[in-house]
C-alpha cells in the first residue's frame, strides 16, 4: 500500500455476508463479517478514509419472501422499500461489527455510520424496458402464472423454478453524495449505497419517487467513488482473483490488468454478465474518471491484496505495475 492512497471504497459482495450453502441467519452474517472486515480495520489503523458499500441479494430476497407470506395480513412492500429495509438491516450488522472490531483494536476515534442512500436512475433508460435481473424466491410454474396475472415478469431460472425479474438501470448519481463526502472528510467510516442504493427518479415537479428496479452494486459503487474522489476500490468477492476462461481447464488467474486489457477481455466474453462482468465494467468506469486502482479479491485475502501480494489489481492505461 503506498502512502499516496488516502481514500478507499470497500465494496462488500454478497458472499461477505452470506456464503454458499448458508441460509443467511443473522449469526452467520455476523461471523462472516468479522472475517471480511479485518482488512478494513487495518486500513483504518493506517489512517485511510474509508467508505463501505455492500450487496443485498440474499437480504432483499428474504424481504420479498416475507412480504409475500404476509400478503393480506400486512401492507404490501414495493421493491424500493425492500431495498431500503435491506440497507438498514445490513448496514446495522456491518456498523456494529466494525465498531466492535475497532474497539478491540484500540481504535476509538473513528465513528461508524450507516446512511440510507438513494440512487438516481433515468426512467427513459432502455434497460428499464428489459427486466432481466432475477430477485426474490423461486416459484412453481402455477405460482408464476398467478404472479404474471398480477403484472410481474417471470422467467424460468436455471431449471430451479421461476423467479421475478425487474429492470436494472444504470446509476447516474448518488443523491446523498454530498453528505457522505462531509462525513468521510470528518473521519467517519460511512456505510452507503447498500444494494446499489434505492433506485429513484425525478418527476416533472422535481420530486423524487421510487422505481421498481434494482441497481447493480458495483456500478453504483463506481459512481459514488468518482463523486467522492476516492483513490482505490477494494472489491471483496467470492474469488481470490479475476480469471480468464473461468471454470474451465484453461482457467488463468490475472495478477494485474490495464483498462485496455480489461475492455478487450470483457468484449471477448471472459467475464460473465451476472458475476465478474459488472465488477470489471465498474472498474473501467472508475479508472477512466480519475480513480487510481481497483483490487478484486476475496475477503480472507484483503490484507495481502492491499500489500500487493494477492488479488487482481486493475490500473489506468500506462500505470500498470507487475507483482
Query: Which one of 13, 15, 195, 196 is the catalytic residue?
Result: 15
pLDDT number for residue 160: 77
- Give the per-residue pLDDT at 323: 62
Residue 67: band (very low, low, confident or very high) from pLDDT cuts 50, 70, 90: confident
Mean pLDDT of 115-144: 90
- C-alpha–C-alpha distance, residues 161 and 157, integer Å: 6
Question: Which residue in 133, 195, 197, 293 is the catalytic one?
Answer: 133
Average pLDDT, the chain: 91
Is residue 25 over pLDDT 50? Answer: yes
Q: What is the model's pLDDT at position 24?
A: 83
Integer Cα distance of 220 and 214 in angstroms: 11
Q: Which of 54-58, 122-126, 180-184, 225-229 has the lowest mean pLDDT?
A: 54-58
Spot the catalytic one: 56, 197, 279, 301: 279
Query: With contact defined as beta carbons under 8 Å apart, do 91 and 49 qualify?
Result: no
Instruction: Based on the residue annotation, tell me whether 15 is a catalytic residue of this protein.
Output: yes
Which residue segments constitute the domains of the chain, with CATH numbers given?
7-120+170-200+212-315 (3.40.1160.10)
Q: Read out DSSP for 225-271?
A: HHHHT-SEEEEE-SSSSEEESTTSTT-EEESEEEHHHHHHHHHTT-S
Marked catalytic residue, from 217, 291, 293, 301: 217
Per DSSP, the chain holds a count of helices (H) and strands (E) of 10, 17
- Residue 274 — very low, low, confident or very high, per pLDDT cuts 50/70/90? confident
Is 4 in the active site?
no
pLDDT at 48: 93
Average pLDDT score over residue span 135-147: 85
Q: What's the CA gap between 223 and 57, in Å, rounded?
A: 20
Q: What percent of the chain has pLDDT over 90?
A: 71
* Angstrom distance (rounded) from CA 249 to CA 240: 17
Distance of CA 66 to the CA centre of its chain: 23
| Rounded CA separation 63/124 (Å) | 28
Q: Which residue has the higher pLDDT, 60 or 221?
A: 221
Please say whether the beta carbons of 232 and 295 come within 8 A: yes
What is the mean pLDDT of the segment spanning 1-14? 79
* 279 is known as an active-site residue: yes
Instruction: List all residues 6 or more positions away from 127 whose beta carbon is below 8 Å from its beta carbon.
Output: 167, 168, 169, 170
Amino acid at each position: 500500500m503506498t502512502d499516496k492512497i488516502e481514500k478507499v471504497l470497500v465494496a462488500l459482495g454478497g458472499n461477505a455476508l452470506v456464503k454458499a450453502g448458508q441460509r443467511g441467519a443473522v449469526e452467520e452474517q455476523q461471523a462472516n463479517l468479522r472475517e471480511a472486515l479485518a482488512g478494513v480495520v487495518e486500513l483504518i489503523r493506517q489512517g485511510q478514509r474509508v467508505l463501505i458499500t455492500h450487496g443485498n441479494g440474499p437480504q432483499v430476497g428474504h424481504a420479498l419472501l416475507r412480504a409475500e407470506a404476509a400478503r393480506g395480513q400486512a401492507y404490501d412492500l414495493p421493491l424500493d422499500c425492500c431495498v431500503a429495509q435491506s440497507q438498514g438491516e445490513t448496514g446495522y450488522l456491518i456498523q456494529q461489527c466494525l465498531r466492535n472490531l475497532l474497539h478491540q483494536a484500540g481504535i476509538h476515534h473513528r465513528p461508524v455510520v450507516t446512511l440510507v442512500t438513494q440512487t438516481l436512475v433515468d426512467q427513459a433508460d432502455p434497460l428499464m424496458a428489459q427486466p432481466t435481473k432475477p430477485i426474490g424466491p423461486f416459484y412453481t410454474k402455477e405460482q408464476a402464472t398467478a404472479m404474471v396475472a398480477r403484472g410481474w415478469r417471470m422467467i424460468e431460472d436455471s431449471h430451479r423454478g421461476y423467479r421475478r425479474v425487474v429492470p436494472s438501470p444504470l446509476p447516474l448519481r448518488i443523491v446523498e453524495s454530498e453528505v457522505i463526502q462531509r462525513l468521510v472528510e470528518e473521519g467517519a467510516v460511512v456505510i452507503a449505497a447498500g444494494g446499489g442504493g434505492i433506485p429513484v427518479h425525478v418527476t416533472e415537479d422535481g420530486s423524487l419517487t421510487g422505481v421498481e428496479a434494482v441497481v447493480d452494486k458495483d456500478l453504483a459503487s463506481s459512481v459514488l467513488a468518482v463523486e467522492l474522489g476516492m483513490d482505490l476500490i477494494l472489491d471483496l468477492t467470492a474469488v481470490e482473483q479475476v480469471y480468464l476462461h473461468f471454470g474451465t481447464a484453461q482457467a488463468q488467474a490475472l495478477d494485474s490488468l490495464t483498462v485496455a486489457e480489461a475492455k478487450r477481455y470483457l468484449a471477448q466474453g471472459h467475464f460473465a454478465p451476472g458475476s465478474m462482468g459488472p465488477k470489471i465494467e465498474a472498474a473501467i468506469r472508475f479508472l477512466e474518471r480519475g480513480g487510481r486502482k481497483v483490487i478484486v479479491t476475496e475477503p480472507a485475502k484483503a490484507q495481502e491484496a492491499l500489500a500487493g501480494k494477492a488479488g487482481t489489481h486493475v490500473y489506468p492505461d500506462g500505470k500498470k505495475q507487475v507483482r
